[in-house]
Amino acid sequence: MTTATESKTVTYKELGFVNTKEMFRKAMKEGYAVPAYNFNNMEQLQAILTACMKSRSPVILQVSKGARDYANATLLRWMGRGALEMMKEMGVPIPVALHLDHGDTFELCKSCIDSGFSSVMIDASHLPFAENIALTKKVVDYAHPRDVSVEGELGVLAGIEDEVSHEKSNYTNPQDVQEFVKKTGVDSLAISIGTSHGAYKFKLKPGEAVPPLRFDILEAIEKLLPGFPIVLHGASSVPQELIAAINKHGGKMENTAGIPVEQLRRAAKSSVCKINIDSDGRLVMTAAIRKVFIEKPGEFDPRKYLGPAREELIKMYADKNEKVLGSAGRC
């Protein structure tokens, strides 16, 4: 007889997701990065899947702890399943992984694995090196028998995004990577080379340029871990036209800056085979909704402002796949 606890457990294969191992192998072989887009609601999920089907790109659907709490873990599981059924109906099959972004405890990672996630990140980068290894290995030991991929992290990114908040960056030390990967058994490694979370990635003075990413650190890591999947977090480009549109329609966002797209293009051709983008999606959605509210102040039907936001998201994700990450046309 099935218990209540057992009935809540489902594997990602039952839902139709894939883990990231084959995704990353193909991306590294062909020289592109798999997009990892965060979502919190139905419109974002629809936009991500629609854009990736149109551009025939593999995709990693990312969910943070905060997004999972916001959407409800059970509802989120079936939203993901529903998105895959929608994909089948449209007749454009693409590989889709469901990934926990910045899991901070073993219990959270375990809960996500048991509810159908095909990949999890355990972010213990803020802990001492030995403790980071121990916690990451504990997650790996639970995930791998279930064929779930695990992403670890070395180095700390500055910025704020959901529960993740750090005032200063701490670059990844290349001398740590071999020991970390060997002792933990992770499938991919998130590193810190100058990207940052949120829309306010850098505190720049007027006329000051965004500092370049530390490709020297990436290249050193590539030599020590040849052919190993590397991940970049905090890789939104924060387009200034979106900031201008938000501010034009009643917003107040100042001194924002993101990662230049040419640097992301360079990273995508290296061993970086997963690039995380969240803030750009938030900006696109906010700009579109604010525009409707200002131009049509009497509008109160959510479909009339969430719909245009969804359409703008589709355009943005497809553009990222084609012009930045190089993932379009890979399926």
**Structural domain boundaries enclosing 57:** 12-240+256-279
Residues 148-187: tens digit of each pLDDT: 999 999 987 754 444 544 445 689 999 999 999 999 999 9
**Residue 101 designated active-site:** yes
How far apart (Å, rounded) are the C-alpha atoms in residues 109 and 150?
9
- pLDDT surpasses 80 at 264: yes
Residue 289 lies in a domain: no
Which residues are CB-neighbours of 247 under 8 A, at least 6 positions away?
253
Q: What is the pLDDT of residues 76-120, one digit of tens each?
A: 888 989 999 999 999 999 999 999 999 999 999 999 999 999 999
Residue 291 tokens, joined: 């525009």
Number of domains in the chain: 1
Q: What is the DSSP letter of 166?
A: E
The active-site residue out of 69, 101, 104, 216 is: 101
Rounded to two decimals, the pTM is 0.92
At 205 the pLDDT is 66
Categorize the per-residue pLDDT at 234 as very low, low, confident or very high, splitting at 50, 70 and 90. confident
pLDDT in tens, 37-85: 999 999 999 999 999 999 999 999 999 999 999 988 888 888 989 999 9
Please, what is the average pLDDT of the chain?
A: 91
Q: What are phi and psi of 51, to 5 degrees?
A: -65, -40
Is there a domain that residue 246 lies in? no
Residue 305 lies in a domain: no
pLDDT at 77: 84
* pLDDT above 80 (res 196): no
pLDDT tops 60 at residue 253: yes
The CATH number assigned to the domain holding 155 equals 3.20.20.70
Using an 8 Å Cβ cutoff, are 213 and 263 in contact? yes
User: What are the C-alpha distances in Å from 39 to residues 25, 46, 257?
Assistant: 25, 9, 22
